[in-house]
Structure 1
Amino acid sequence: MLSTDLLRDAAERFGTPLYVYDADELDAGLERVRAAFGGARVFFAVKANPNLSLLKHMAGAGLGFDCVSYGELCRAEFLGLAGERIISNGPAKSQAEYDLGARLGVTFIVDRVEEVGLLPPRSRALVRVNPALQISTHDHLATGSAASKFGVTPEQVPLVLKALREAGHRALGLHVHIGSAIRDAQDFTAAYARLAELRSQTGPLEVFDAGGGWGIGADLHGIAREARHAAGVFDAELWVEPGRYLVAPAGVLLTTVVGVKRTGRNFCLVDAGMTELIRPMMYGAAHPLTPLWGGTQVETWDVAGPACESGDLLARDVPLPEPSRGDLLVIGEAGAYGAAMSTTYLTRARPAEVLRRSGEWQLIRRREEPQELWQTEL
């Protein structure tokens, strides 16, 4: 995390709520991935944080992009990426995604049998496989469970590969992504092993895409070892798709205390809430909190946002010194799915985003004005 003095400086210059990113930590996360996965091809999962300045930074570091919408493909095109540096993923792609993907020459992830007939002519494709496992993460994040909407069953894989080839497409290989924020390396071991069992039916393949979803603090080297082994079973090149792992530790959300309230529970009221960071409400996500104030009297507080919703809580039962109006609170690990999932609910303008790079602040998204939010309304 950036120093307290730098965070205070950012809040004073740009106001709060404010997303703050550290370019050095972004680079450190990428180095951890490359150290673990060696020569694997790395695609950044754009949905984790689509800010153009951050994407440009990652593209400059040699990463490709994993895109799951037409808008994300447009961002990749705007930054000059094309061909083998883009993956088009998702369970229900639009015709616009197929058309733009064809023009850019992307690799399509086939998510269901019927999608083979929707691909543009002579596409490159990977087949997404759902290993139907019990995944140690929130149900909403478990994309490799039997109840998930993603991927084809292992039994369908030979059929889909055959259909791709017969339709004139280049069937590169297999793709698996079992979820997000997963810390138990055994989940990945089980998923890769399940796909490796298909080798006798698929023969050698060009690509084994092991996805992402590694939780912060997970045994990355152990996961990488299993992914490399699975790729080796298919004599395939290894691809990976980190998102949250790269950007979450590189970003924090700064919020200011606006007051306190004692009504049977202690509430620390702040100027950020579900509209700025919805993960606690949506996934029960626990973000580390750091108060930038001192005090000897520590009590347990619920950190509550300003939305007129009972669920607008950023954290419960957090030990904090007595807060006062104007104090700054740092919400950590907020660089992924924070600003990306922020909303204008209640006509709340989305926060600014700043990047600390080479000793300087860079405003990479200005704070919206309320009047901008209704410009498209008639």
Structure 2
Amino acid sequence: MMSSSPYEPGRDPLSPNCNLAPITTELDAQSRLIVGGCQLSELAECYGTPLYVLDEATLRAACQSYRGALQRHYPGPSLPIYASKANSSLMMSSLVASEGFGLDVVSAGELLTALKGGVPGDCIVLHGNNKSDQELLLAYRNGVTIVADNQHDLDRLSQLVPVGADPAKLMLRFTPGIECHTHEYIRTGHLDSKFGFDPDQLESVLNQLLGCRWARLTGLHAHIGSQIFELEPHQDLADVMAGALQLARRLGHPVMDLNVGGGLGVRYVSSDDPPSIDNWVKVVAEAVNQACRSRNLDLPRLMCEPGRSLVAAAGVTLYRVGSRKTIPGLRTYLSVDGGMSDNPRPITYQSLYTACLADRPLASPDETITLVGKHCESGDVLLKDLALPYASSGDVLVVFATGAYNVSMSSNYNRIPRPAAVLVHSGHSELVQRREQPEDLLRYDVMPERFLALG
């Protein structure tokens, strides 16, 4: 196992979010990188590049860490829910369901993926600040809990649920007014957010729902953001939510679910120092327990929604090195065969990553380069100031901790096909997403007949 390199698996094998690499990462006899028992450069040769690689053991370890921590630290019932926007697929839905997780979705596409992946409807919650009638009906007909984000959700559901039919299961989302230190685009708990009812609307909305036969309010939801390393905001959130729970029950709502969202950060570079899964769950569980006990409230079912912290460290992305451009005294650009279409986070959030060569991970660096993609965009930069041994055209490069928000945010910018994805375990690899082909990108194009006539 690697111990002295910048991509070492981490300090806590039971908490993959603290790792830079999958927990199965090791070196073979020739010091080449192996994940899940599979040599990475061989995967690149077999499946092509760019290639998303997911390690099953790391995924399952993260799931088991959450479930075990909830059982240890929370005396009431609990249900962890996978935030599937981090990486939505049939395989991921099936895997997390097999580990006892529910799943949250934000679109008809994610909902269908969850259902087809074997997640029961009553273990799914539907989020979103502008749900369509199609999405609301699909959720209602499959017994999915709908997170009411605003008055528009309530108005549409009141028209869509048939008179005399079973009521829609609702969870009410509100903004708790809690700030945390993270990128402004992924802060959701402060008052200036597009998500959720304002806290001063809560009582009036709860009163509005009392006489609605089409709805049954069973839960409350709040979320403070993503990629968070602080623990204090989660303690504050528990107190705010317990107060809301007390109000809802006093007004007569049978609220038994308290959903505190997710947001636990992960380690992208060696200087990152996120809390462990166990520590995060312990702080949240004890805070909810204390806040409810101090108000003489029966403990609700505690729900949390990890996404990034479940899947980020399980994934690596493989690229092949292509061209280079050296500007003497200034910079060397090293290009790979992917970039912003398969990982838009650097250009969107200025996100940082760790990378190395698949077959020479321990070699001493010869140069400092700027790693760029192949897209026609000056901002298509994956990593700046990356120290590497000299890389030749055709070498396989590995970027770590790409399991979250890479495949799910990928695009066809410049009409570049999306990569394939494989799952690795015990020396075996399985295709979980086929590689797009250029002709696939024409599937939904329609040529007007008058243009054909001109030809």
What is the TM-score of this pair, normalised by structure 2?
0.79
- The alpha carbon displacement at 1:297 in A equals 4.5
Contact 1:23–1:250, Cα closer than 8 Å, also in 2: yes
The answer for the alignment partner of 1:25 in structure 2 is: 58
Deviations 1:114-151 (A, max 9, x none): 42222254111111121222221111111112221011
Tell me, in whole angstroms, the C-alpha distance in 2 between the residues paired with 1:224 and 1:62: 16
Deviations 1:244-295 (A, max 9, x none): 1111111110111113221221212111200010011111111221223364
Figure out how many residues of one structure are paired with residues of the other and give that number: 378
2:260 alignment partner AA:
A
SS in 1 for 2:408: helix
The answer for the alignment partner of 1:312 in structure 2 is: 380
Q: Trace 1:179-258 onto structure 2 (pairs within 5 A).
A: 179-203=225-249, 205-216=255-266, 217-232=274-289, 233=292, 234=297, 235-258=299-322
1:165 alignment partner AA:
L
- The alpha carbon displacement at 1:61 in A equals 2.0
The answer for the alignment partner of 2:151 in structure 1 is: 113
Say which of 13, 35, 46 aligns to 2:46.
13
Q: Trace 1:332-351 onto structure 2 (pairs within 5 A).
A: 332-351=400-419
Tell me, in whole angstroms, the C-alpha distance in 2 between the residues paired with 1:12 and 1:363: 14
Larger Rg: 2
Q: Runs of 5+ in structure 1 lacking a partner?
A: none
Tell me, in whole angstroms, the C-alpha distance in 1 between the residues paired with 2:350 and 2:419: 22
Tell me, in whole angstroms, the C-alpha distance in 1 between the residues paired with 2:345 and 2:283: 29
Matched, 1:321 2:393: no
The answer for the alignment partner of 1:283 in structure 2 is: 349
Tell me, in whole angstroms, the C-alpha distance in 2 between the residues paired with 1:74 and 1:23: 23
Tell me, in whole angstroms, the C-alpha distance in 1 between the residues paired with 2:399 and 2:425: 20
RMSD of aligned C-alpha atoms? Answer: 1.8
Contact 1:185–1:219, Cα closer than 8 Å, also in 2: no
The answer for the alignment partner of 1:142 in structure 2 is: 187
Tell me, in whole angstroms, the C-alpha distance in 2 between the residues paired with 1:157 and 1:51: 35
SS in 2 for 1:44: strand
Greater mean deviation of Cα atoms: 193-202 or 43-52:
193-202
- The alpha carbon displacement at 1:219 in A equals 4.0
1:213 alignment partner AA:
G
Say which of 206, 217, 221 aligns to 1:171.
217
Tell me, in whole angstroms, the C-alpha distance in 2 between the residues paired with 1:44 and 1:109: 15
Greater mean deviation of Cα atoms: 224-233 or 209-218:
224-233
- The alpha carbon displacement at 1:214 in A equals 0.7
The answer for the alignment partner of 1:45 in structure 2 is: 83
1:127 alignment partner AA:
L
Change (3 A) 1:62 1:312: same
Contact 1:116–1:160, Cα closer than 8 Å, also in 2: no
The answer for the alignment partner of 1:104 in structure 2 is: 142
Q: Trace 1:32-71 onto structure 2 (pairs within 5 A).
A: 32-38=65-71, 40-71=78-109
Greater mean deviation of Cα atoms: 195-204 or 238-247:
195-204
Deviations 1:336-377 (A, max 9, x none): 111111111111010010111343110111111100101110
